[in-house]
């Protein structure tokens, strides 16, 4: 009834190839954009920005990046944390070296740097497959974290070994540093996540995305029908690295403010983003958002319940949080291995038939 | 003899000992991966959990005392008895069998035929869950584990090598006993899998699930069995590492030490796990000794991975892994 292709006539080629060809999808998309850009910035406060919205948007960007690599191209990566660190350190070096340049330029540049690094670490994927590759990406994780710890040039020889983001602005509005307003933090993340989602969505619809999916489904068969596996895999690594780098840059400069590489970009982060992708749904841009929302909201929710409502000590609550999130992940995988995106697909299928069940 | 050479010899020996411990953890991975195709990230946390349970039983701790105290306002901590080490080990092994059954019954039975990555994620979920349960049951403070293994420097080796080379090698007694235990464990595993009915069934399942099912082998039973064995291996690894560096959260990170061993040796090969463990153990100690000081040290975290990675580029299935044959 609401969600249908019938009666939605396309009379020109651009109309036929637009990003959201179905009306319901398109209006939903406009509505979400309108709420995100025109409503939330006016109501957001520091708590909501720092606890929910900013991490959600940043993790969504990282999840989109990983989803392109793992969900669309089938290359499992456990190095996301370190790749985010590359973005963070790249943006830090850029911010301190060129203070007058806008963040809108620095962040994509950091993304490009990360894309290069990730492509280098993606080279073994041409020989190694499956879990061997997943473990191989751990090499990147440990090596990069070690490198950022040991080479003082990366953290500008600061005594603590930490990097902390200086105050930088976009069009006169401060977006990094301690004096940033909540809405400014939110807006800069929102702009990048919107762009990332739009680019990712269109890349995955196009020929390059089809090549990735062919590689994912069976790389030998894909090679036989004329997909160049080297190009497909390396572009997936590069594009994925670009988004993860942007996420890492924002995570450090806007969200954390100061970061120590082993703590902020450790292997936990890799697993966290991988969880988002799996719970959201492999091979779905919407799933990246859904998974990021789920994994960001879950700890906030659990903490509120355990500490706020039941009044347990915080260390106990932390243990319980481990148990509940671990348990929920397992339950989720058992009930819906294809993630939240699959639930959404099922819902759309129901909407298509509603109110007549057949 | 030049001193540098003697130092290197000592480093190699210590590396071999460390390698045995890595191999012990990797062994648990291989067993489960062979029998059920599950890449069990939770192996390290299983070792932690086993060690925590062992300490808890030996000291007569009240399980979940923390949460009981917080909820009911009681002051429970210890039962006030001490359990002898051997009995405690047997009890802990029993706990690991129950754990294996629970995991099989409530998690992996529902995930049969899912894609490998989904199974892998489920084991990560399990790792988080088990970590939380372990901390909640026994508390998260660092505990000392002493099951009566000899500790400290081995005097005999020290004296003998000093007389022979003029430089006494420092070898920890604990490492020596760990090596002996590991040898016994591997021998027991080999005997079990070669000469017992269940062991043969286990190998059949590892070979081909469907064929094994069709000749009447119960997959469920085999999977519970293999998780139990992995739990037992985790217990042994937990005892060794726990006695060495105390029972604490970082114990679970030995899983990360075992992964490059697996890559090197191949995910499906028991000899591979052992040889891989030794190579990694010696390699990383030697690298840290020779190159480490030049690049700022602490190379042990990543060297094993890079070594395994370089190795895999030339031999994608690992040292002893089955040859990867792909068909369209």
- Enter the ipTM: 0.83
Encoding tokens for residue B312?
A: 């895999």
Encoding tokens for residue A171?
A: 């069009």
Q: Measured between beta carbons, which residues in chain B are less than 8 angstroms from residue A322?
A: 128-129, 131-132, 135
At residue A251 the predicted structure's pLDDT band, cuts being 50, 70 and 90, is: very high
Q: Determine the residue of chain A that is closest to B67 in CA distance.
A: A316
- Mean pLDDT, chain B cut into blocks of 10 residues (328 residues total): 75 84 84 82 89 86 75 72 82 91 88 81 89 83 74 73 72 81 86 86 83 88 89 88 79 80 81 87 85 74 83 78 73
B263 interfacial to chain A (CB closer than 8 Å) = yes
Contacts of A23 by beta carbon, 8 Å cutoff, 6+ apart: A8
| pLDDT for residue A118 | 93
Mutate to test the interface with B, among A126, A131, A295 (most CBs of B within 10 A): A131
B264 interfacial to chain A (CB closer than 8 Å) = no
Measure in Å the smallest separation between the Cα of B213 and chain A Cα atoms: 23
d(CA A212, CA A73): 4
What is the architecture of the domain spanning A44-353? Orthogonal Bundle (1.10)
Q: List, as ranges, residues 189-208 from A with C-beta within 8 Å of B.
A: none
- What are A121-177's pLDDT values in tens digits? 888 888 888 778 888 888 888 889 888 888 888 888 887 778 888 888 788 778 777
Residue A282 CB neighbour total at 10 angstroms: 25
Measure in Å the smallest separation between the Cα of A126 and chain B Cα atoms: 9
d(CA A213, CA A204): 9
Q: Determine the residue of chain B that is closest to A139 in CA distance.
A: B305
Given a contact cutoff of 8 angstroms between Cβ atoms, the answer to whether A174 and A194 are in contact is: no
Q: Tell me if B115 and A327 make a contact (CB, 8 A cut-off).
A: no
Kindly provide the residue ranges of all beta strands, DSSP E only, lying in A173-332, ordered along the sequence.
Answer: 173-174, 258-259
A120 interfacial to chain B (CB closer than 8 Å) = no
Given a contact cutoff of 8 angstroms between Cβ atoms, the answer to whether B171 and B13 are in contact is: yes
| pLDDT for residue A160 | 79
Of the candidates A134, A224, A327, which has its C-beta nearest B129's C-beta? Answer: A327
- How many Cβ contacts (< 8 angstroms) between chains A and B? 143
- Please tell me the pTM assigned to this model: 0.88
| pLDDT for residue A261 | 83
For tokens 């959260």, name the residue.
B249
Q: Give helix B43-59 / helix B85-103 axis angle, nearest 10°.
A: 140
A308 interfacial to chain B (CB closer than 8 Å) = no
User: Which one, of A159, A121, A151, lies nearest residue A245 by Cα?
Assistant: A121
Residue A283 CB neighbour total at 10 angstroms: 22
Q: Determine the residue of chain A that is closest to B298 in CA distance.
A: A146
Residue A114 CB neighbour total at 10 angstroms: 32
Q: Tell me if A319 and B262 make a contact (CB, 8 A cut-off).
A: no
Max distance between CA atoms of chain B, in angstroms, equals: 68
Of the candidates A132, A149, A218, which has its C-beta nearest B328's C-beta? Answer: A218
Residue A237 has pLDDT above 90, yes or no: yes
User: Which one, of A119, A62, A60, A55, lies nearest residue A85 by Cα?
Assistant: A62
Given a contact cutoff of 8 angstroms between Cβ atoms, the answer to whether B6 and B167 are in contact is: yes
d(CA B116, CA A135): 14
| pLDDT for residue B259 | 83
Mean pLDDT confidence for A283-311: 86
Of the candidates B125, B308, B309, which has its C-beta nearest A326's C-beta? Answer: B125
Q: List, as ranges, residues 44-83 from A with C-beta within 8 Å of B.
A: 70, 76
Mean pLDDT confidence for A89-105: 88
Query: Exposed/middle/buried for A193, CB within 10 Å: 0-12, 13-18, 19+?
Result: buried
Average pLDDT of chain A? 87
| pLDDT for residue A358 | 67
| pLDDT for residue A1 | 59
Query: Exposed/middle/buried for B156, CB within 10 Å: 0-12, 13-18, 19+?
Result: exposed
Q: Tell me if A278 and B117 make a contact (CB, 8 A cut-off).
A: yes
Mutate to test the interface with A, among B25, B118, B119, B128 (most CBs of A within 10 A): B128
At residue A195 the predicted structure's pLDDT band, cuts being 50, 70 and 90, is: very high
C-alpha triplet A296, A299, A302: angle, nearest 5°: 140
Mean pLDDT confidence for A345-356: 82
d(CA A3, CA A353): 8
- What are A29-72's pLDDT values in tens digits? 899 999 988 888 888 888 888 888 999 999 999 999 999 999 89
Domain residue spans in chain A? 1-9+20-43, 44-353
Residue A277 has pLDDT above 80, yes or no: yes
Residue A192 has pLDDT above 80, yes or no: yes
Q: Tell me if B328 and A224 make a contact (CB, 8 A cut-off).
A: yes
| pLDDT for residue B1 | 56
A218 interfacial to chain B (CB closer than 8 Å) = yes
Structural domains in chain B plus CATH codes: 3-314 (1.10.3470)
């Amino acid at each position: 009834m609401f969600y249908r292709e019938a009666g939605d006539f396309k009379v020109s080629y651009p109309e036929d190839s637009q990003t959201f060809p179905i009306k319901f999808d398109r209006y939903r998309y406009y509505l979400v954009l309108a709420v995100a850009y025109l409503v939330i910035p006016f109501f957001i406060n520091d708590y909501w920005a720092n606890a929910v919205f900013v991490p959600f948007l940043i993790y969504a960007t990282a999840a989109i990046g990983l989803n392109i690599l793992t969900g669309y191209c089938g290359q499992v990566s456990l190095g996301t944390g370190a790749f985010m660190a590359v973005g963070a350190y790249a943006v830090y070096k850029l911010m301190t070296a060129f203070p007058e340049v806008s963040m809108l330029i620095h962040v994509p540049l950091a993304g490009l740097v990360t894309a290069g690094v990730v492509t280098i670490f993606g080279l073994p994927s041409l020989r190694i497959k499956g879990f061997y590759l997943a473990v191989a990406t751990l090499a990147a994780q440990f090596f990069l974290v070690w490198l950022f710890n040991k080479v003082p040039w990366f953290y500008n020889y600061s005594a603590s070994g930490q990097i902390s983001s200086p105050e930088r602005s976009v069009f006169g509005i401060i977006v990094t540093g301690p004096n940033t307003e909540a809405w400014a933090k939110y807006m800069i993340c929102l702009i990048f996540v919107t762009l990332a989602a739009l680019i990712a969505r269109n890349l995955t619809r196009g020929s390059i995305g089809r090549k990735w999916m062919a590689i994912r489904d069976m790389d030998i068969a894909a090679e036989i029908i004329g997909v160049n596996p080297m190009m497909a895999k390396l572009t997936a690594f590069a594009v994925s690295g670009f988004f993860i780098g942007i996420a890492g840059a924002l995570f450090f400069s806007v969200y954390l403010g100061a970061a120590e590489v082993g703590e902020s970009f450790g292997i936990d982060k890799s697993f966290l983003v991988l969880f988002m992708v799996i719970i959201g749904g492999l091979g779905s841009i919407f799933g990246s958002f859904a998974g990021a929302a789920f994994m960001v909201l879950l700890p906030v929710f659990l903490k509120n319940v355990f500490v706020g409502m039941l009044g347990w000590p915080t260390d106990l609550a932390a243990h319980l949080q481990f148990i509940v999130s671990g348990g929920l992940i397992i339950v989720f995988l058992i009930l819906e291995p294809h993630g939240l995106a699959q639930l959404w697909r099922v819902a759309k299928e129901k909407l298509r038939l509603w109110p007549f069940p057949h | 003899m030049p001193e540098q050479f003697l130092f290197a010899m000592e480093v190699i020996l210590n590396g071999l000992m460390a390698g045995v411990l890595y191999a012990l953890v990797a062994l648990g991975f291989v067993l489960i991966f062979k029998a059920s195709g599950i890449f069990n990230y939770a192996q390290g946390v299983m070792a932690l959990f086993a060690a925590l349970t062992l300490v808890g039983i030996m000291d007569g701790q009240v399980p979940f005392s923390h949460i009981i105290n917080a909820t009911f306002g009681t002051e429970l901590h210890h039962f006030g008895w001490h359990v002898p080490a051997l009995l405690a080990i047997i009890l802990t092994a029993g706990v690991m069998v129950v754990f294996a059954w629970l995991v099989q019954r409530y998690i992996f039975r529902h995930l049969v035929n899912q894609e490998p990555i989904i199974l892998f994620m489920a084991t990560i979920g399990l790792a988080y869950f088990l970590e939380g349960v372990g901390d909640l049951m026994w508390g998260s403070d660092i505990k000392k584990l002493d099951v009566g293994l000899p500790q400290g420097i081995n005097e005999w080796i020290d004296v003998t090598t000093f007389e022979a080379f003029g430089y006494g090698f420092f070898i920890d007694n604990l490492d020596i006993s760990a090596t002996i235990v590991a040898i016994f464990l591997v021998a027991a595993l080999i005997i079990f899998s070669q000469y017992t009915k269940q062991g043969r069934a286990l190998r059949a399942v590892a070979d081909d699930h469907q064929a094994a099912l069709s000749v009447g082998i119960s997959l469920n039973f085999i999977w519970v069995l293999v998780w139990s064995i992995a739990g037992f291996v985790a217990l042994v690894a937990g005892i060794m590492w726990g006695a060495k560096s105390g029972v604490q959260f970082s114990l679970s990170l030995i899983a990360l030490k075992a992964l490059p061993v697996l890559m090197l040796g191949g995910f499906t090969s028991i000899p591979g796990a052992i040889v891989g463990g030794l190579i990694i153990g010696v390699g990383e100690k030697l690298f840290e000794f020779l190159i480490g000081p030049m690049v700022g040290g602490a190379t042990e975290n990543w060297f094993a991975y890079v070594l395994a990675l370089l190795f895999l580029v030339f031999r994608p299935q690992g040292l002893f892994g089955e040859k990867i044959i792909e068909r369209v």
